[in-house]
């Protein structure tokens, strides 16, 4: 019989883990992916997100211990998390990759700029940056709890000291161990005001790589002395700050293990992380469906190897049922000891006790959620996107902006007899949820008479035609470029540079706005004439667009034009 949350909230305790069978204990070590949308026909990644019937079977019959949500609005996820908790045998850990706030994944909640924006603030004011990081942690935790998420898969504590890194990049707080440690620990301390779990990732450090581990296995070739002075200190400080979990990296680190990636290496997880660093919390793998693992190891073997190496939780195995069976078989044959499984389940129980037991406020939240699958109580959703949270977002965006050239633009654009062009270059317009028809990057230039031209990586022929025959008028060039998973490069740099060079050659570049990666600005900036206006923002959201364009068009546009966006 499933252990219902209303019973849990009354007793403030979990059932005894040792009452579970071996299969049920191992199932607690598995976290599966689930769509945050309410209906099967809304599932966006059917290879990874099971339909409701299969998900219910995993939770209700197998006793899987947790889920990771992707997609959906904050309101939908509040209902969805309640639904899944009611299906579960044992209360679930519900996780999400919300490194930039709850709104990064679930619309309606607060979406922060990427962590590197706070790192940029730290270069000018360390104290202010630490305050921002703590506020970000607290707001993220509060909003996560409001919609049923109790496990934050953040902060990223990788030191991004490789500008060509296609997978970490702006997800890191910075390029030095000191900055990353300061801001990551501030984030953790902010989140600790609420009963949620935090996660330091990706151990032992994914910052100095130029390969996306979603696709291939990167190698970190450094000596142990370098690893101990650059990669490990942020993890050590996160552990000292009480971080609840550490997520592994799919990296080969020959200095420690020439054969297996960190996720599958006993030397890295058990010796370095557990023994050397003294970490006593949860060790969770990065997603086992990622190419760095799936391309080399089987669907059943990878979870076994991860547990054998010292992982407590296997995240997104290709086959949850197969993973459970394979791990149980490894126990029965003596490959993995029963004691190791029990130690992992004990750690999971300690984590679940933290998020479900002992706090009246959390008990109240649980009681509200389990009453029925009705619309979540308004009091919970009113905790989302509060004015104070949005003010913090705006302050980070403003404080981290980079501005150059003759800013703001004059009231009348040069060569005003020709209609100016608003050329927007984006990675992928199809999946770009921050560039709708009402986005400031579209609307504000239009109000000033600019003609819109939108180009992305799927329109190479149009881009080439535009370069060959167009760009004959004054042009505002807006680039939305940052690292994204499952892509070999860090952005559309050749395409963007082609447009930039063509506009400069024709003397028609009126201004440049870059949203996303500071490394793109570094690459393009040497080509800009000193007087050319430019604005760089770490954010890509409508708020980031409005703040950047307010700087650029301050004298050309009435202030009231921006109020609906700020």
Q: Are 329 and 263 in contact (CB under 8 A)?
A: no
Write down the mean pLDDT value for the chain.
88
> What pLDDT does residue 355 have?
96
> What pLDDT does residue 491 have?
60
> What pLDDT does residue 162 have?
87
- At 467-492, the pLDDT tens digits run 776 788 999 999 998 866 545 555 66
Q: Average of pLDDT values for 110-131?
A: 98
Dihedral sign of CA atoms 504, 508, 513, 514 in order = negative
pLDDT band at 374 (very low <50, low <70, confident <90, very high): very low
Alpha helices in 401-492 (DSSP H): 440-447, 460-469
- Tell me the percentage of the chain whose pLDDT exceeds 70: 87
Q: Are 335 and 357 in contact (CB under 8 A)?
A: no
Q: Average of pLDDT values for 425-443?
A: 87
Centroid of chain to Cα 185? 17
**Of 66 and 365, the one with more pLDDT:** 66
Any idea which of 187-201, 358-372, 479-493 has the lowest mean pLDDT?
A: 358-372
Q: Where are the beta strands (DSSP E) in 24-146?
A: 30-35, 66-70, 93-96
> What pLDDT does residue 428 have?
77
- At 442-464, the pLDDT tens digits run 999 999 999 999 988 777 777 77
Q: Average of pLDDT values for 114-140?
A: 98
Give the separation between CA 505 and CA 500, rounded to whole angstroms.
9
> What pLDDT does residue 482 have?
82
> What pLDDT does residue 235 have?
98
Which residue in this structure is represented by tokens 């430019």?
Answer: 534
- Annotation marks residue 286 as catalytic: yes
> What pLDDT does residue 381 have?
75
Q: Average of pLDDT values for 381-401?
A: 95
Give the separation between CA 413 and CA 399, rounded to whole angstroms.
27
| DSSP H or E run through 130 | helix 126-146
Question: Given a cut of 80, is residue 560 above it in pLDDT?
Answer: no
Question: Given a cut of 70, is residue 358 above it in pLDDT?
Answer: no
pLDDT band at 416 (very low <50, low <70, confident <90, very high): low
> What pLDDT does residue 490 have?
57
Assign 238 to helix, strand or coil.
Answer: helix
- At 112-122, the pLDDT tens digits run 999 999 999 99
Q: What angle do helix axes 493-505 and 460-469 make, rounded to 10 degrees?
A: 10
**Of 313 and 456, the one with more pLDDT:** 313
Q: How many CB atoms lie within 10 A of CB 383?
A: 17
Smallest CA-to-CA distance from 538 within 331, 393, 390 is with 393
Q: Average of pLDDT values for 208-223?
A: 77
Question: Given a cut of 60, is residue 2 above it in pLDDT?
Answer: no
Catalytic residue among 286, 312, 427, 456: 286
Q: Average of pLDDT values for 316-326?
A: 96
- Annotation marks residue 41 as catalytic: no
> What pLDDT does residue 5 have?
39
Give the separation between CA 250 and CA 78, rounded to whole angstroms.
31
Structure tokens at 208: 């100095």
Catalytic residue among 202, 206, 214, 250: 214
Question: Given a cut of 90, is residue 424 above it in pLDDT?
Answer: yes
Question: Given a cut of 80, is residue 255 above it in pLDDT?
Answer: yes
Alpha helices in 157-262 (DSSP H): 177-191, 224-226, 233-240
> What pLDDT does residue 459 have?
76
Q: Average of pLDDT values for 244-273?
A: 96
Give the separation between CA 352 and CA 200, rounded to whole angstroms.
18
Q: Average of pLDDT values for 414-434?
A: 81
- At 3-51, the pLDDT tens digits run 443 444 333 345 676 789 999 999 999 999 999 999 999 999 898 899 9
Domains and CATH numbers, the chain: 33-380 (3.20.20.300), 401-562 (3.40.50.10870)
């Amino acid at each position: 019989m499933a252990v219902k949350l209303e019973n849990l909230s009354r007793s403030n305790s979990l059932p005894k883990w040792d009452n579970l069978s071996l299969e049920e204990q191992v199932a607690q070590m598995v976290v599966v992916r689930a769509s945050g949308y309410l209906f099967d026909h809304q599932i966006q990644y059917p290879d990874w997100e099971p339909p409701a019937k299969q998900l219910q079977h995993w939770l209700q019959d197998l006793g899987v211990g947790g889920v990771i949500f992707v997609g959906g609005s904050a309101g939908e996820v509040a209902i969805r998390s309640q639904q899944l908790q009611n299906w579960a045998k044992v209360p679930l850990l519900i996780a999400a990759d919300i490194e930039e706030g709850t709104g990064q994944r679930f619309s309606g909640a607060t979406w922060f700029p990427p962590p590197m924006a706070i790192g940029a603030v730290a270069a000018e004011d360390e104290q202010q940056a630490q305050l921002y990081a703590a506020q970000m942690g607290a707001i993220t935790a509060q909003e996560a709890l409001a919609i049923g998420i109790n496990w934050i898969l953040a902060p990223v504590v990788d030191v991004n000291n490789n500008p060509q890194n296609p997978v970490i990049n702006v997800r890191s707080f910075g390029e030095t161990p000191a900055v990353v440690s300061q801001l990551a620990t501030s984030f953790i301390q902010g989140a600790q005001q609420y009963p949620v779990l935090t996660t330091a990732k990706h151990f032992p450090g994914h910052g100095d790589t130029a390969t996306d581990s979603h696709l291939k296995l990167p190698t970190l070739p450094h000596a142990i002395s370098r690893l101990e002075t650059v990669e490990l200190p942020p993890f050590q400080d996160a552990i000292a700050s009480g971080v609840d979990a550490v997520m592994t990296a799919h990296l080969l680190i020959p200095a420690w293990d020439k054969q297996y990636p960190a996720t599958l290496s006993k030397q890295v997880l058990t010796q370095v992380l557990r023994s050397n660093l003294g970490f006593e919390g949860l060790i969770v793998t990065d997603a086992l469906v990622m190419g760095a693992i799936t391309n080399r190891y089987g669907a059943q073997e990878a979870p076994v190897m991860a547990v054998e190496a010292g992982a407590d939780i296997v995240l997104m195995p290709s086959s949850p049922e197969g993973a459970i069976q394979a791990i149980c078989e490894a126990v029965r044959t003596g490959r993995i000891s029963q004691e190791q499984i029990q130690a992992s389940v004990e750690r999971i129980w300690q984590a679940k006790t933290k998020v479900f037991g002992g706090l009246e406020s959390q008990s109240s939240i649980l009681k509200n959620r389990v009453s029925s699958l009705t619309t979540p109580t308004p009091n919970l959703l009113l905790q989302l996107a509060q004015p104070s949270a949005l003010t913090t977002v705006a302050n980070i965006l403003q404080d981290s902006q980079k501005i150059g050239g003759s800013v703001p633009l004059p009231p009348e654009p040069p060569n005003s007899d020709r209609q100016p062009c608003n050329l927007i270059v984006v990675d992928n317009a199809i999946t770009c949820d921050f560039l709708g028809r009402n986005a400031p990057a579209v609307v504000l230039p239009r109000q000033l008479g600019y003609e819109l031209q939108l180009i992305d990586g799927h329109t190479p022929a149009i881009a080439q035609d535009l370069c060959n025959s167009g760009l004959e008028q004054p042009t505002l060039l807006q680039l939305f470029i940052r690292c994204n998973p499952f892509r070999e490069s860090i952005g559309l740099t050749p395409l963007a540079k082609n447009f930039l060079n063509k506009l400069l050659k024709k003397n028609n570049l009126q201004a440049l706005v870059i949203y996303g990666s500071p490394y793109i600005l570094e690459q393009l900036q040497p080509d800009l004439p000193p007087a050319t206006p430019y604005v760089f923002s770490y954010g890509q959201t409508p708020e980031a667009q409005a703040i950047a364009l307010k700087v650029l068009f301050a004298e050309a546009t009435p202030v009231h034009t921006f109020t609906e966006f700020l």
